[in-house]
Structure 1
Amino acid sequence: MANLKEVKERINSVSSTQQITKAMKMVAAAKLRRAQEKIVQMRPYSQKLTSILNNISSGAEGVADIVYAQERSVSNLLVIPITSDKGLCGAFNSNVIKATNAVFLENPDKKITVMPVGKKAMDFFKKQNFPLVSDYAGLFEKIAFQPIKEAAEFVMESFVGGEFDQVILVYNQFKNVATQVVVKEQFLPISKLDADGEENKAQQDYIVEPSRDYIIEELVPNSLKIQFYKAILDSNASEHGARMTAMSKATDNAGDLLKDLKLVYNRTRQAAITNEILEIVAGANALEGK
């Protein structure tokens, strides 16, 4: 059985760790609230913009002329895994990396380039044998639309220029504090909708000014930039939710461990006291027997 000093040191160590995890949980909760507000406000706009774009493009005779919707034989694939800059958020980052590796396995005959977003993705994939686009790994240092827009523009220009034939985003989609779903989403080329769908039939009555082609030309790039921005915001909110959940579990586990350690401490102390009493009684009996 451990001595009292060792048990006391472990109790102090676990208590300190519990205080840290509790503080990190509170910080993550505060950041989550702000991040959740951003993604909740962004989603309706992004979804409506995408809906308008898809309906207009699906009804356009020149849909094939949209440069961002041109499908071609996929030889060069760009994969964009979006992780966090920091750890201590459970399986948040490892889930994205696993899903990205699954994309690699699904495309064994393609030339794959990785554009990591987030330091954790950068740290992992720079050790692999894939070509890297590392210019946008630090987007989470300060989340703002302008640098994210520049990253999206780079991807769009590379696609139009023929450097990549397909672009896939891999990120955590925020559902709630306890649930984040890993999503593999085709960013380019733009997926075509089924023009025969009931929803499309109900939404084809747009009055387009000045012209359908002009609207598509302006709307498509903006929609793609908003889609990329939404993925970043989704991942950001998911990170804080995952960290809050992980720190909450760590705090609870530390509490359970403290209970066990205090029980061991009390038993050890009681055993030490009992041994001292026995030694005193034995000594007294020895003196009486002289």
Structure 2
Amino acid sequence: MASLKEVRGRITSVSSTQQITKAMKMVSAAKLRRAQDNILRMRPYAQRLSGILANLSSQTEGSENNMYSAKREVVNNVLIIAVTSDRGLAGAFNANIVKAVVARIDSKYRSQAAAGHVTVLTIGKKGLDAFKKRGVPVIEDYSNVFATISFDNVRPAAERAMAGFVAREYDQVDLVYNEFKNVATQIVRQEQFLPIEEKPVEVTDKAALLVDYTFEPSKEQIIEELIPKSLKIQVYKAVLESNAAEHGARMTAMDKATENAGELLKQLKLTYNRTRQAAITKEILEIVGGAEALAAK
């Protein structure tokens, strides 16, 4: 049985840990509110822009200027944008992204990976560390994005992927991130970033087939300005989703850790009381035994 001093030390240690996890939960709750407001404001804009992007891409099919919709006959080189976080203590938040990327490589890009033609662009320090340990090639590190999340800070990551696709350095670019659903639930999303996927348009009115689309100011200018901006917004939305999901995951993990610390404290205090009672009983028995020995003399 552990000594009273050891049990007291463990009680003090667990109490300090419980205070830390409780404080981290409160901090994550405050940050989650702001992150949730940001993503809820961004979602309608990003979804509408994504729809416009898909329709515009189908309307400009075959255009030489529409570089981001060009499908390669053979996919040899692949880039995967993996959005994780800079900090841990968020449960399986980062591990789920790493597992999803590895599973995607094994199932979809096994031959390319065997030839060393699968590369990862990491947004978040935890992803960078994990993929380096696994020996997965990483081209860029954008760990500083989460220090101050803004469109200008996220844009270089999107531009790097877009430039690589246009230069035929990569034949396909995928995006993997955690989508925020609620505090306790994060959904791992895997999307094709480039080339732009064309969404089928359902036509219910035959007259709609005869619509003559007018591009204002011009088709070329729209392609040059709107499509790149839409792609950058798509990456920015993924980062905002991941940021909100991270705080939700950390809040849940710290709440569970606080509860576990409370249960452990109960057990330790019970052990402490039992140990203390045993020590007192032992001392009483020794005193009684000594008194009887003196009386016998």
TM over 0.5: yes
| Equivalent residue number for residue 223 of structure 1 | 230
C-alpha displacement at 1:206, in angstroms? Answer: 7.2
Structure 1 CA distance for aligned equivalents of residues 267 and 135 of structure 2: 47
What is the match of residue 110 of structure 2? 108
Residue identity over aligned pairs, in percent, reads 60
Q: Post-superposition shift, 1:53?
A: 2.3
Report if aligned partners of 2:54, 2:196 keep a CA contact under 8 Å in 1: no
Q: Report SS of the residue matched to 1:134.
A: strand
Tell which deviates more after alignment, 211-220 or 79-88: 211-220
Matches within 5 A, 1:135-214: 135-196=141-202, 208-214=215-221
Equivalent residue number for residue 261 of structure 1: 268
| Distance in 2 between residues matched to 1:122 and 1:286, nearest whole Å | 73
Q: How does 1:1-290 map to 2 (within 5 A)?
A: 1-60=1-60, 62=62, 66-72=66-72, 73-106=74-107, 107-110=109-112, 111-196=117-202, 208-290=215-297
| Alignment-mate amino acid for residue 222 of structure 1 | K
Q: 1:61 to 1:228 in 2, by over 3 A?
A: closer
What SS class does the counterpart of residue 138 from structure 2 fall into?
Answer: coil
Q: How many residues align?
A: 289
Return the letter of the residue paired with 1:25. Answer: K
SS at match of 2:144: coil
Q: Return 5+ residue gaps in structure 2 as ranges.
A: none
Q: Cα RMSD between the aligned structures? A: 2.3
Quick one: which amino acid aligns to residue 46 of structure 1?
A: A
Residues 1:66 and 1:54: Cα distance change in structure 2 (over 3 Å): same
Deviation at 1:49?
Answer: 0.9
Q: Deviations over 1:29-83 (max 9, x none)?
A: 1111111111111111000111122233334564686211111121000011111
When the two structures are superposed, what TM-score results if normalisation uses the length of structure 2?
0.90
Partner Cα distance (1:278, 1:135) in 2: 68
Kept after mapping to 2: 8 A contact 1:113/1:133: yes
Asked if 1 retains the 8 angstrom alpha-carbon contact of 2:65 and 2:220, the reply is no
Cα 1:206/1:42, change in 2 over 3 Å: farther
Output the CA distance in 1 between the equivalents of 2:163 and 2:137: 18
